Amino acid sequence: MFRFGAVLAMAVWAALPLRAGPVSDAVQGVISDQISAFLVDDIDRAFSFASPGLRDHFGMAGRFGEMVKNGYPMVWRPGDVRFLQLDGDGKARRQIVEISDRAGRPFRLEYEMIETEEGWRIDAVRFLPVPPPMT
């Protein structure tokens, strides 16, 4: 009887969704806030979520905004956004994000995040292959 109860408890525990931790919440919050800023064309605010290195590279919020608008239109005007796994440790993390454009086409992006004095910031974003749909 004890063994059955222990197995049942483990099965219920395994079925529960993973709880986000403070780092996960902070990282996802920065990405969400940047996307929200793009949605209302607040490029200065969106630029503030970039790492100091990215801000130095682009120099001006307008240049950064044009790069996102032309190179990452699904981030500029997303359809659905879903956070997947978060990897890494210390002051560097990688957040996988599944995002669709307004036409419903799926994309998978890896956000490289670094912890700065200002909090978590986006240091780079790259495209990942989108897995084929389950049949």
Q: pLDDT tens, position by position, for the chain (135 residues)? A: 545 444 433 433 343 344 458 899 999 999 999 999 999 999 999 999 999 999 999 999 999 999 999 999 999 999 999 999 999 999 999 999 999 999 999 999 999 999 999 999 999 999 999 988 777
Report pLDDT for 84.
Answer: 97
Coil, helix or strand for 21?
coil
Which residues touch 95 (CB under 8 Å, ≥6 apart)?
A: 27, 28, 31, 83, 84, 85, 86, 110, 111, 113
Q: Find out whether 110 and 125 touch, Cβ atoms under 8 Å.
A: yes
pLDDT of residue 19: 45
CATH of the domain spanning 20-128: 3.10.450.50
